[in-house]
Amino acid sequence: MNEETTTIVIDNALATGSVTALDPEERKLQELALALRADAPVPDEDFALRMNARVSAGFPRRKRIALPRFAVARPRFTAIAAAASLLIALVIGVSLSNRDNGTEVAATSGGAPAELRDEASAKSAPAAPQRAAAGGATEQSADSVASSPPIVGPIPPTDNFVGGRNRRVQRSAALTLAAPEDDLSQVGDQVIAVTDRYRGFVMRSTVTSAADGQAGGSFDLRIPVRTLRPALRDLSGLADVKSRTENADDVTASFVNARTRLEELNAERRGLLRRLEKAITEQQAGAIRARIRLVNVQIESAQSSLKELQRRTSYASVSVSLVPKDEGSGGGGGGISDGARDFRDSLVDSANVALRVLGVALPIGLVLGLLIAGNAWATRRRREAALDA
């Protein structure tokens, strides 16, 4: 007898309440099925009456000490919620901690480089001139030169986004802003205000009104490199940004060469002064003095080059162009285009908010879902274990 036959034979017997099969084996099975059903325990009459009454009354609750419902009815859910909260707090804590660490690193590279440079230079300074003289504008030689005793004054720290913290990077940016024609002058004033706020200076500025021809303006600014990013952010916020470009040129090699040249000239001057002290004849002394004057001129020139390089790497050149905003063609069309733009912006903002909410809700939901599923699985396993022999 196979599984299917067994089921059919048993179900027939249970449905009819009698032995219907002809086959002796099947008859035995049906007799067993009926015996099993007949042997099923029957509830006491008293119990059945009590149950009937309770069902009719809708299972009235017994009075208990008033505890919070969630604590009484759902202790497991409370535990899950507590575990999920802890997990989320842990995740947030770890992420915040990582962010703090990142800030510290950024601050180290921008805010406190001098001490680090001095410490590093103590080991590598003696070999630096030779390496630099050999024309090796490598990271190591740049470190050595930057950390050697200052010749032309302290070097301001830079926001080096290209490479190592001692590299010399010349940065520039160009920004094209579009503002309504009537506001061009006002935006121009704000460009200057932003420049002042970040301790920069305006090299050149031009604002042309519509009466003089094509309205517009241009500004040539110098912004301290360390504040370039916030300055660009503020400038970009003054009007609609049509274009924005940023350049970074590594001038470490030129810087090292200029510094090495200055050191060599200083060394030569010291040598000439020593020779002057030892000069015997007036003719010899005159020749040496002439040479010293020549070296002095060369030193001034080298210092000037080095200062120029320092200035170029300390200040970023920022070019701002102001152009009138295209108000749209066709009389009265501006309102519609503005409305459409606002509508688009609102959609983008809504999508951003929705994405952020989703970004938070999704992991929390996943964690909660996993915890609930895990709890259900564990409970089922525990229950089923009661049937293990």
Partner 1 sequence: MELNAPLTALNTVESFEELYRRTFPRVYAYVASLLRDRSSAEDVTAQAFERAYRKRSGFSARRGTPEAWVFGIARNAALDELRKRKRRATLESEPADLWSPGPDEEAERAFQRDEVRRAIASLEPRDRDLIALKFAGGLNNVEIGRVLRLSESNVGSRLHRAVEKLRKACE
Which of the stretches 41-49, 137-145, 196-204, 336-344 binds partner 1 when contact is defined by CB under 8 A?
Answer: 41-49
Quote the least distance from Cβ 1 to partner 1, whole Å. Answer: 8
373 binds partner 1 (CB under 8 A): no
Q: Which of 41, 149, 331, 359 binds partner 1 (CB under 8 A)?
A: 41
Contact 207, 184 (CB under 8 A): yes
Scan residues 15-34 and list those touching partner 1 (CB under 8 A).
28-29, 32-33
Please state the length of the chain.
389
Q: Does 277 bind partner 1 (CB under 8 A)?
A: no
Which of 24, 58, 68, 332 touches partner 1 (CB under 8 A)?
58
DSSP state, 199? T
DSSP-derived pairing of the beta strands 240-250 and 315-324: unpaired
Residue 212 within binding range of partner 1, rule CB under 8 A = no
221 binds partner 1 (CB under 8 A): no
Question: Are 299 and 262 spatial neighbours (Cβ–Cβ below 8 Å)?
Answer: yes
- Residue 295's closest CA among 258, 265, 270? 265
The 10 Å Cβ neighbour count of residue 197 is 12
Q: What is the closest distance, in whole angstroms, from the C-beta atom of residue 77 to partner 1 in the complex?
A: 14
Q: Among 22, 24, 42, 277, which residue interacts with partner 1 (rule: CB under 8 A)?
A: 42
Q: How many CB atoms lie within 10 A of CB 194?
A: 23
126 Ramachandran zone, left/alpha/beta (phi>0; psi -120 to 50)? alpha
Rounded least distance, CB 5 to partner 1, Å: 9
If one asks whether residue 53 binds partner 1 (CB under 8 A), the answer comes out as no
CA distance 156 to 150: 12
Q: What is the DSSP letter of 278?
A: T
Query: Cα–Cα distances in Å, from 330 out to 240, 325, 335?
Result: 21, 15, 11
- How far apart CA 308 and CA 313 sit, in angstroms, is 9
Q: Which is nearer to partner 1, 46 or 115 (CB)?
A: 46
- As measured in angstroms, the least distance from the Cβ of 74 to partner 1 is 13
What are the distances in angstroms from CA 45 to CA 8, 54, 221?
34, 14, 99
Binding of partner 1 at residue 274 (CB under 8 A)?
no
283 binds partner 1 (CB under 8 A): no
Site string for partner 1, 62-101 (x = CB under 8 A): ----------------------------------------
Applying CB under 8 A, the residues found at the interface with partner 1 are 1-4, 6-7, 10-11, 14, 28-29, 32-33, 35-37, 39-44, 47-48, 50-51, 54-56, 58-59, 382-389
